[in-house]
Structure 1
Amino acid sequence: MNALKAFQMPKQVNISARSSSITNSFVNGIIPYIYPTEMEVKEALGILELDADDLRCAYCGDKSTEWDHLRSIVKNKKPTGYISDIYNLVPACGKCNQSKGNKLWNEWIVSEAVLSPKIRMVDDLEGRIKCLTKYEKWGNVKPIDFESIVDADIWKEHWNNCEKLHEDMRKAQELAFAIKQKIKKNLEY
């Protein structure tokens, strides 16, 4: 193998590339987490036809490593109105959770997205879709209009804080780039 091909530089860090993490934090910071009862978890797993003793990804069947929001909690940098509760969470593997992102599960699962179950040619995809469709109807989940619940000034202040942080990150990235260029220019080999 060519030595240059085997060599991998570390990924360069971009400060402003973390903006989605900041937005997600601002959304997660306000949405409630409703912890399920043991009975609710058993019912959820039953609908998904999954075994608690060998928990698998609801989307592809690989070993589950986390719980994914079936309905995204963030879209277009704002909360969707869905929360973290058993009616909106399904066991998932990291590949599916990352690939799905904030897409609609029923569009993503049969899409050409990198690592989607369709692309990975997952067995019994139609059966999984059937279980997920049944699960989605379970609990009759509707989005909550958070903004109508809280004082408008507090709501606006929260999102202004988020935008200020994004702007500070953009400025920090510009400054970091300028510093990097000066350092690079002065390197002596």
Structure 2
Amino acid sequence: MRINGIKDHLRKQKIMGKKSTFSAAFASALAPFDKFDNVSVAEAIRDLGQNPERDLNCVYCGDTAATWDHVHRRVIGGEYSGYGHRIRNLVPCCRSCNERKGKRTWEEWLDVLSPPDIEERRNNMRRFLSKPSAAPFTVEDMRRAAPRELSEFLEIRQEVFRLMKKADDLADVIRETAIKAHSAR
């Protein structure tokens, strides 16, 4: 570690600097989820070319899986993407691929890795994602089903962000006033 590393800590902190975290929380709250069903999960794993009775491997690189990756991101640009915690949106993944894949699509990540069996992996993923239960459930679907409730939810989100901005502004005033008072002593 070098002394310049302290610079990241020596700066004004803003509540709104965490807006993406709060946006993700609101979007994730809307995201649908499947209840665990061993039969459905086993079928999905078989579609990925794996044996559900054995330890699972990363769908991208083939290493031992240690976590689950969302094939499609739940949140894009602070908004719910249409995909959630669904059986057909979660794949076994090693920690390295899960951390390094970032915002790339599964196809882009396979291209980056370029494993020797890339076509087999692509075919497995396409089969896995071809089922009706892999289709997105969009905000428009929600709007058709519960227009009043969705509208109220989005208004609450805006109010939370407005209050976060107001709190940031108040924090600036409090900090500046307190620093001046402290310096005057």
Q: TM over 0.5: same fold? A: yes
Distance 1:170 1:46, change over 3 A: same
Mapped to 2, the partners of 1:16 and 1:80 lie a distance apart of 22
Mapped to 2, the partners of 1:181 and 1:65 lie a distance apart of 47
AA aligned opposite 1:141: A
| 1:67 and 2:68 correspond | yes
> How do 1:1-189 and structure 2 match up within 5 A?
5=2, 8-9=5-6, 11-12=8-9, 14-52=14-52, 53-101=54-102, 103-110=104-111, 118=112, 122=115, 124-139=117-132, 141-144=134-137, 145-150=141-146, 152-176=147-171
Structure with the higher helix share, 1 or 2: 2
Quote how far apart the aligned CAs of 1:5 are. Answer: 2.9
Distance 1:9 1:55, change over 3 A: farther
Mapped to 2, the partners of 1:63 and 1:179 lie a distance apart of 52
Render the CA deviation track for 1:85-125: whole Å, top value 9, x for unaligned. 21222122344334445553223443xxxxxxx1x565533
**Paired positions, count:** 175
Quote how far apart the aligned CAs of 1:14 are. Answer: 4.6
Quote how far apart the aligned CAs of 1:7 are. Answer: 7.3
AA aligned opposite 1:147: R
Q: Which runs of 5+ in 1 are unaligned?
A: 111-117
- Alpha carbons 2:72, 2:105 under 8 Å: kept: yes
SS of residue matched to 1:9: helix
Indicate the structure (1 or 2) with the bigger Cα radius of gyration: 2
SS of residue matched to 1:54: coil
SS of residue matched to 1:24: helix
SS of residue matched to 2:68: strand
Mapped to 1, the partners of 2:168 and 2:95 lie a distance apart of 29
Distance 1:168 1:64, change over 3 A: farther
- Alpha carbons 1:31, 1:84 under 8 Å: kept: yes
SS of residue matched to 2:135: coil
TM-score normalised by length of structure 2:
0.71
RMSD (Å), alpha carbons: 3.4
Quote how far apart the aligned CAs of 1:158 are. Answer: 0.5
Quote how far apart the aligned CAs of 1:157 are. Answer: 1.4
Q: Which runs of 5+ in 2 are unaligned?
A: none
Mapped to 2, the partners of 1:183 and 1:127 lie a distance apart of 63
